[in-house]
A and B are shown apart, each in its own frame.
Chain A
Amino acid sequence: MLEIKNLHAEIDGKQILNGLTLSVPAGEVAAIMGPNGSGKSTLSYIVAGRSDYTVTAGEVLLNGENILELPPHERAARGLFLAFQYPVEIPGVTTHTFLRTAMNAQRKTRGEEELKTADFIKIMRAAADKLSISQEMLRRPLNVGFSGGEKKRLEVLQMTLLEPRFGILDETDSGLDIDALRVVSEGVNSLRSKERGFLVITHYQRLLDYIKPDSVHVMSQGRIIKSGGPDLALELEKHGYRDIVASAA
């Protein structure tokens, strides 16, 4: 499970998170919604360990362990996964090579044996097929020239292969048409389990029709201002953020 307690963070002296507290038990999906500029993506970067931000107070516990002191690759090896809003292009590295390198790097950090090439290819092919990712795409450089939908499917493929304990999806629905949204959502849903939790960051209720959350949280000015059940998302879609933000101020 992921527990964020009283998290404060800033960048270049500008306060972005102001005492954010949120708990997502294992097996649950929590959705964070909120207006532009409320700090949603920043939250995902800070939890994953991006060094541009300075955490000034609070803690982030992954399965009971405070991960804020760990470098990002060790957070990943302990089971944290961030699906990027804008997956990064890496020219010169084939998708296939990147996937194998990532899987083996995490295994090595955890003190496990590296995967044999034949085993890796078998696992990768099976997972790629489910997400309609072609072998040809896996031979291309990572994310280079991929469409928005292809990039997001590839994020889900990585999450599938890396088998995290906790996944953060940062606006995974942005840039997707309805068909791609369905494929990506089905990919995420197939990973839901009793042991695994998710934090889904989104602007729109639409994604939550496909990935049904257990709880919905509204974020504004760097903290959670309202929490509720799935109905809260419908309410937001109908009335917008303004009233909730105003009443929290």
Chain B
Amino acid sequence: MALRAQPLKTPAEEAIAASFPAFAARQAQWGGAEVAKAREDGIARFRANGLPGRRIEEWHYTDLRSMLREAAAPFEAFSDDLARQAAGEPAPITLDGAAHLLFVNGRYFAGKPVAGLEVVDLSTTKSLPPAAAQALARETAYAGNGAVALNRAFTNGGAVVRVQAGAPRVIHLDFRDVGSEAFSTFPHVIVDVAEQAQVLIVESHRGPDGVAYQTNVLIELKLAAQAQVSHVRVNEAGSKSVSLATLGLDIADHATFNLFSLNTGAALSRHQIFLRSAGEQSSIDLAGVTLARDKQHADTTLVVEHKAPRCKSREFYRYIIDDSATGVFQGKIVVAPDAQKTDGAMKSQTILLSDEAAMNNKPELEIFADDVLCGHGATCGSLDEDQLFYAYSRGLPPAQAQALLLEAFAGEALERIADEGLREQLREKVCAWLAQRVIQ
């Protein structure tokens, strides 16, 4: 009889499992039966699997089991003062006329009601409206993912948002983390976008530098037929933080979804995207720029599942990795047998700025249909010597020449942001990051 050795639990795993019963008991008065069920489901998966580590293929390059040394306690001490403190700080993004949804340390703090937008605070002690309850009970293909299971077990706040046609043009999901001691947050936000609705969703994350806090965010977007959603994400989590974020996407026929993610924050970050395109002729564009320095570890992992015919998807990610930082890009396109005429193209490009910088690229195609157009490409290199010399010869000093080329490299990805004002704000962030570079 073959014995499979069960690895010993790490101290972090022990601490997480031990903290659950008391946490769940203290938080039982809100969220209703759906949140309670999600907690039980999540902790059961966590108890069975532990933290995801290198034995699991999709976590091979981001071995959370060994990287997460300590588990910080879930944040529970919510107060209006906390919200005021957070709201007193500037947001990473400024948007005129946006419906502003503020989440502090995981919990939703309601602002003014907005016409066309229905926001249900998960932390309500009343029973949830049926639509919100149903949204929470949806089954997903990624429920078994290690980060998702943890989020569902320890959900400490969140909201269910319904966007009707005629809703505000821009919604800002503004996640702030506040504190000076280690803590962890587990917000869960669901956004249902109605048929033909058009919306720009801006998602931003910011927290204190130098504090070893941990965030594990789950955002689920469901686009009904012909919905058009642009999603721009900015991650400026604090310098010592662990930032886990999952974006679940369910996209119906003739819907359009564009994502752009700028990732500069956190000591350890992972943005995972699970996209399911279930209706015909949807159009999907996922893009992002990751800038990492010092010892940062920045992972983007995405799975795009084409379940229906005649859909189009594009993935375009650029990384600039400096010092001894590490980048990870894992992209998988899955084309189901029925998803004929799928048109998919995935590209990941990296510039490494130091000998110690590292990049792990893993593009994958799983194609079960026979009439599709799918491709992927990954490149990784240093700055182009010919381009540099050309710029020097025109009078640009080395630091300026390098910044110009790097800004251009990131800029080609930023071009995918349709909103000009937002694009410029992100471009300025890239320039600010480049300006902080120390050239040896």
Query: Which A residues are closer than 8 A to B by beta carbons?
Result: 48-52, 71-73, 75-77, 81-82, 84, 87-93, 98, 101-103, 105-106, 109, 141, 158, 162
Contact = CB atoms under 8 A, between A and B. Distances in A.
Given A91-B412, A92-B408, A93-B408, A102 B387 contact: no
Interface in B364-393: 385-387, 389-393
B395 interface: yes
Contact of B387 (A73, A76, A90, A106): A90
Contact of A72 (B386, B393, B400, B408): B393
Nearest to B410: A92
Contact of A73 (B392, B405, B411): B392
Most chain A CB within 10 A, of B396, B400, B405, B412, is at B396
A46 B400 CA distance: 22
A21 B406 CA distance: 39
B345 to A, nearest CB: 18
A48 B117 CA distance: 62
Contacts of B412: 91-92
Contact of B408 (A49, A76, A77, A91): A91
Contacts of B393: 48-49, 72-73, 75-76, 81-82, 84
Nearest to B390: A88
A98 B387 CA distance: 12
A88 B387 contact: yes
A114 B70 CA distance: 52
Most chain B CB within 10 A, of A71, A76, A109, is at A76
8 contacts: A50-B389, A87-B390, A90-B387, A92-B407, A98-B404, A105-B395, A105-B397, A105-B400
Contacts of A98: 391, 394, 404
A51 B392 CA distance: 11
Contacts of A49: 392-393
A49 B398 CA distance: 13
Contact of A71 (B385, B386, B387, B398): B398
B409 interface: yes
A101 B392 contact: no
A82 B387 CA distance: 14
Contacts of B397: 71, 73, 105, 109
Given A73-B395, A90-B391, 16 more contacts: A48-B393, A49-B392, A52-B385, A71-B392, A71-B397, A72-B393, A73-B394, A73-B401, A76-B395, A77-B395, A81-B393, A88-B389, A89-B387, A91-B412, A101-B396, A102-B395
A158 B409 CA distance: 23
A168 B157 CA distance: 67
Nearest to A45: B389
Interface of B: 385-387, 389-398, 400-401, 404-405, 407-409, 411-412
Contacts of B401: 73
Given A73-B395, A101-B400, A90 B389 contact: no
A105 B386 CA distance: 19
Most chain B CB within 10 A, of A52, A72, A98, is at A72
Nearest to A90: B387
A52 B393 CA distance: 14
Contacts of B411: 92
Nearest to A106: B395
A68 to B, nearest CB: 15
A109 B395 contact: yes
B387 A162 contact: no
Nearest to A93: B408
Given A91-B408, A91-B412, A93-B408, A72 B387 contact: no
Given A101-B404, A109-B397, A72 B409 contact: no
Contacts of A102: 391, 394-396
Most chain A CB within 10 A, of B389, B411, B412, is at B389
Given A73-B395, A77-B395, A109-B395, A90 B400 contact: no
Most chain B CB within 10 A, of A77, A98, A162, is at A98
B394 A90 contact: no
A160 to B, nearest CB: 13
Nearest to B405: A90
A50 B387 CA distance: 12
Contacts of B390: 84, 87-88, 90
Most chain A CB within 10 A, of B385, B390, B393, is at B393
Nearest to A76: B395
| A-B pairs, 5 with minimum CB distance | A92-B408, A106-B395, A76-B395, A72-B392, A102-B394
A84 B397 CA distance: 19
Given A91-B412, A92-B412, A105 B396 contact: yes
A228 B353 CA distance: 49
B417 to A, nearest CB: 14
Contacts of A51: 389
Given A50-B389, A101-B404, A92 B409 contact: yes
A150 to B, nearest CB: 16
A162 B405 contact: no
Contacts of A92: 407-409, 411-412
Nearest to A44: B393
A48 B389 CA distance: 9
Contacts of B391: 90, 98, 102
Contacts of B409: 92
Nearest to B412: A92
A94 to B, nearest CB: 9
B287 to A, nearest CB: 14
A34 B412 CA distance: 42
A90 B392 contact: no
A76 B394 contact: yes
A73 to B, nearest CB: 5
Contact of B398 (A73, A81, A87, A109): A73
A99 to B, nearest CB: 9
Contacts of B408: 90-93, 141
Nearest to A78: B395
A154 B169 CA distance: 43
